Each structure stands twice: as structure tokens, then as C-alpha cells.
Amino acid sequence: MPFGTAEGIGIYFDGVNLPGEVYRECDINVVLEEFSRRLEGEGEIRGHWQGPTETALYIYGKSKSTMRDLLSDYMKSYPLCRGARIVDITPG
């Protein structure tokens, strides 16, 4: 486990309000692969959570703003990312 200072974001995907075809035709594993590819060297997915209405990915790296920028275009284009919310993870 790397030691030092990392910044984090949580991305919460809507699991109930998108059209049914989005859930049938899209795959969260595609999102995971694309996020990992885009974040290479700047951040990584270090956890996930699945609740009754949302699925979350927890991403840590050098800069929250850089990670957001790297994922932004893809999130706008992939239907499963519609309605996703991004929150900053602050140290507790």
C-alpha cells in the first residue's frame, strides 16, 4: 500500500432512474476498464460499494481535479454514467 498523501473522489452511479436499455446494454466493467486506462499514473480505483439505488467507485490519486478532468469526457459519453455524481473524499 503506497504511503503518503492522496486525494480522493467517489463516483456514485444511478442504479434505478436511467432507461432500462442502459442497464441492459451497458456494463460497469467497461467503466472500470476505461477509468483505469484514463487514470493511469494519476490515480486508481481502490474500492467500491453497491447499495439499493447507487453503485460507487472510490478513486484515489495525486489530484482530485486532475482525476475529474481525465474522466469527464468519458462520463459525458457513456450512458451508464448519466446522472452520476462525483463527491470529494476528505480525510476523516
Rounded-to-integer distance, Cα 84 and Cα 13, Å: 4
The DSSP bridge pattern shows strands 43-50 and 85-89 to be unpaired
- How is the chain split into domains, by residue range? 17-89
Q: Which residue has the cell 462525483?
A: 86
Name the pTM for this structure: 0.90
pLDDT by position in tens, the chain (length 92): 455 688 999 999 999 999 999 999 999 999 999 999 999 999 999 999 999 999 999 999 999 999 999 999 999 999 999 999 999 998 76
Rounded to the nearest 5 percent, the helix, strand and coil shares of the chain are: 40, 30, 30
* Amino acid (one-letter) located at 82: R
**Looking at the chain, how many residues does it have?**
92
